[in-house]
């Protein structure tokens, strides 16, 4: 009996993998592998099982080393944004890679399902922060991915990314005596110019170029370089022949330009991106929360909300707001809403919404500020609450944006509004959106 078959209680055949996993429906298939949904017989979370035929792998030039590279690389990597390899099983005929399940599909499919095939800038930043975190971790452990593209970026059930497919990855023993890699591989539209030109290259710097292409795709909805003729594509990459759409902010453009530098010696490294202003605005909660709180737990904040008089209310009327005449972008940086919720509940809901939208929300001394980050260069949301008439309160939100960072245009106000739900009873007049 095949190692993937067994008998159920009803006498029907069921796919059972070596008595450890019950295989379910097929999730996908490629030239050499099929991927199944599976559940551990002993109980636990569902997994994905990649099934390879040994005869096909061994009989196809280059496939054996590719599978070995994938297993070796994934075994040494343990990161929240890298797809986890749980174990490797084998029979005489097949190889089984038991991996973490990513039910959200791949990033390319997710983008293709969007009307404009792109993400809002604040969402793109959240995805990109996770990608950079994963690759920085890989590079620190001597692993260069060499095939970074949206098809190899998977999504879990919460929309967090999982970098996958390390079949073309390079390990330290792949380096030649000159400390460089010499094997041209990857997908041309995402490959660095030095790889396309078949020159010796630094794997980590090649990954940085691929990150630049992905960031461009996330923001623009199309590839910066796309040509069926590889020679023409090489010329375009070397000359930086790409154009940003008008909606991409200047800070994002500068970051993409640093990544899509045809000279690997001056191209920004993935590990150096944490100091870039655009990148720093959305450091992940898990990696930064402890440092932001200086090891101290968050405290329950007590509120004393000042009452408003008639003059205060009238002075905030949009008809008397002259700020737009001075071009300070106030409509992109400030919003107001009315609420009957308590100050504590309002602040708590703002914190939850911020975390879900990819911003770190941390309470600090004083009750009138919600830092969205807390480190130099990160955006912060100041929150002021004023009592109009018990229990009605006016909540004013102000986005403290770093100079030159788009005046708040990339912030997802509409998404924040939806996340607040019934807490935000009435937002300020729609023209302020």
Instruction: Locate the domains of the chain by residue range.
Output: 5-100, 107-280, 286-432
Give the catalytic positions in this structure: 147
Whole-angstrom CA distances from 198 to 137, 145, 152, 234 are 26, 17, 23, 11
> What are the residue ranges of helices labelled H in 153-297?
193-196, 203-220, 230-239, 250-259, 277-280, 285-292
Alpha-carbon Rg of the chain, whole angstroms?
Answer: 26
Could you give the CA distance from residue 417 to residue 433 in angstroms, rounded to a whole number?
10
Domain 286-432 has CATH 3.40.50.300: no
pLDDT of residue 190 exceeding 50, the answer is yes
Question: Please, which pLDDT band fits residue 32 given cuts at 50, 70 and 90?
Answer: confident
Read off the pLDDT of residues 269-315 as tens digits, 9 standing for 90 and up: 998 887 788 876 544 333 333 333 333 333 333 444 455 554 444 44
- The most confident of the ranges 128-137, 363-372, 386-395, 403-412 is 128-137
Question: Please, which pLDDT band fits residue 361 given cuts at 50, 70 and 90?
Answer: very low
pLDDT of residue 220 exceeding 60, the answer is yes
**Long-range CB contact pairs, 169-178, < 8 A, 24+:** 169/69, 169/70, 169/73, 169/138, 169/143, 169/144, 169/145, 170/69, 170/143, 170/144, 170/146, 170/203, 171/69, 171/72, 171/73, 171/142, 171/143, 172/142, 174/203, 176/200
CATH number for region 107-280:
1.10.510.10
Which conformational region is residue 57 in: left (phi greater than 0), alpha (psi within -120 to 50 degrees), or beta?
alpha
Read off the pLDDT of residues 294-303 as tens digits, 9 standing for 90 and up: 333 333 334 4
Average pLDDT score over residue span 186-210 = 90
Whole-angstrom CA distances from 26 to 15, 235, 338 are 11, 42, 50
Contact call for residues 83 and 90 (beta carbons, < 8 A)? no
Strand ranges for 367-429 from DSSP E: 369-370, 380-389, 392-400, 426-427
Could you give the CA distance from residue 101 to residue 50 in angstroms, rounded to a whole number?
11
The better pLDDT of the pair 218, 396 is held by: 218
The better pLDDT of the pair 160, 284 is held by: 160
| Locus of tokens 């990696």 | 287
| Locus of tokens 């999982």 | 162
Contact call for residues 234 and 223 (beta carbons, < 8 A)? no
Q: Which sign, positive or negative, has the C-alpha torsion 421, 426, 430, 433?
A: negative
Residue in 267, 154, 280, 143 with CA at minimum distance from that of residue 211 = 267
Read off the pLDDT of residues 323-347 as tens digits, 9 standing for 90 and up: 443 344 445 567 888 888 888 788 8
Average pLDDT score over residue span 342-362 = 70
Helix axes 203-220, 250-259, angle to 10 degrees: 150
pLDDT of residue 119 exceeding 70, the answer is yes
* CATH H-level superfamily of 5-100: Phosphorylase Kinase; domain 1 (3.30.200.20)
- The most confident of the ranges 179-183, 202-206, 381-385 is 202-206
Residue in 166, 123, 119 with CA at minimum distance from that of residue 147 = 166
Question: Please, which pLDDT band fits residue 29 given cuts at 50, 70 and 90?
Answer: confident
The kind and range of the H/E element at 153 are strand 153-155
pLDDT of residue 319 exceeding 50, the answer is no
Of the chain, the end-to-end C-alpha distance in Å amounts to 65
pLDDT of 168 reads: 85
Share of the chain above pLDDT 90, in %: 29
Average pLDDT score over residue span 399-427 = 68
Could you give the CA distance from residue 142 to residue 85 in angstroms, rounded to a whole number?
18
Contact call for residues 351 and 361 (beta carbons, < 8 A)? yes
pLDDT of 356 reads: 66
The better pLDDT of the pair 331, 249 is held by: 249
pLDDT of 50 reads: 92
pLDDT of 311 reads: 43
Could you give the CA distance from residue 61 to residue 84 in angstroms, rounded to a whole number?
27
Pick the range with the lowest mean pLDDT from 191-200, 357-366, 422-431: 357-366
Could you give the CA distance from residue 381 to residue 409 in angstroms, rounded to a whole number?
14
Pick the range with the lowest mean pLDDT from 31-45, 169-183, 282-296, 393-407: 282-296
């Amino acid at each position: 009996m095949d190692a993937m078959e067994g008998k159920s209680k009803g006498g029907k055949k069921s796919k059972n993998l070596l008595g450890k996993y019950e295989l379910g429906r097929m999730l996908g298939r490629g030239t050499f592998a099929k991927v199944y949904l599976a559940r551990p017989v002993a109980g636990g979370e569902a997994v994905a099982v990649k099934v390879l035929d040994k005869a096909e792998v061994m009989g196809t030039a280059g496939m054996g080393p590719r599978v070995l590279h994938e297993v070796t690389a994934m075994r040494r990597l343990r990161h929240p944004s890298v797809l986890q390899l749980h174990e490797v099983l084998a029979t005489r005929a097949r190889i089984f890679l038991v991996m973490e399940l990513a039910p959200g599909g791949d990033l390319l499919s997710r983008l293709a399902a969007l009307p404009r095939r792109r993400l809002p800038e604040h969402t793109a930043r959240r995805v990109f922060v996770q990608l950079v975190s994963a690759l920085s971790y890989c590079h620190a452990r001597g692993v260069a991915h060499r095939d970074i593209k949206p098809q190899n970026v998977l999504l879990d059930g919460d929309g967090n990314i999982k970098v996958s497919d390390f079949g073309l990855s390079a390990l330290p023993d792949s380096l030649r005596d000159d400390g460089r890699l010499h094997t041209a591989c990857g997908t041309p539209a995402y490959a660095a110019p030095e790889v396309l030109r078949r020159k010796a290259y630094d794997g980590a710097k090649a990954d940085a170029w691929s990150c630049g292409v992905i960031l461009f795709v996330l923001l623009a909805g199309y590839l910066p370089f796309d040509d069926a003729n590889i020679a023409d594509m090489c010329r375009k990459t070397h000359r930086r022949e790409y154009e940003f759409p008008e909606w991409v902010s200047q800070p994002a453009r500068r970051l993409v330009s640093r990544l899509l530098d045809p000279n690997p010696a001056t191209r920004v490294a993935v590990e150096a991106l944490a100091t870039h202003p655009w990148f720093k605005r959305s450091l992940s909660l898990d990696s930064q929360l402890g440092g932001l709180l200086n090891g101290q737990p968050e405290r329950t904040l007590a509120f004393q909300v000042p009452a408003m008089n008639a003059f205060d209310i009238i002075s905030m009327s949009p008809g008397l707001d002259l700020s737009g005449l001075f071009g300070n972008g106030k409509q992109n940086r400030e919003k107001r809403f009315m609420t009957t919720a308590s100050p504590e509940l309002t602040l708590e809901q703002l914190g939850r919404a911020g975390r879900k939208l990819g911003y770190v929300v941390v309470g600090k001394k004083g009750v009138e500020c919600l830092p969205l980050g807390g480190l130099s260069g990160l955006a912060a949301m100041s929150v002021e609450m004023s009592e109009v008439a018990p229990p009605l309160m006016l909540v004013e939100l102000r986005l403290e944006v770093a100079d030159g960072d788009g005046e708040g245009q990339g912030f997802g106000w509409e998404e924040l509004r939806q996340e607040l739900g019934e807490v935000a009873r009435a937002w300020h007049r729609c023209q302020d959106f």
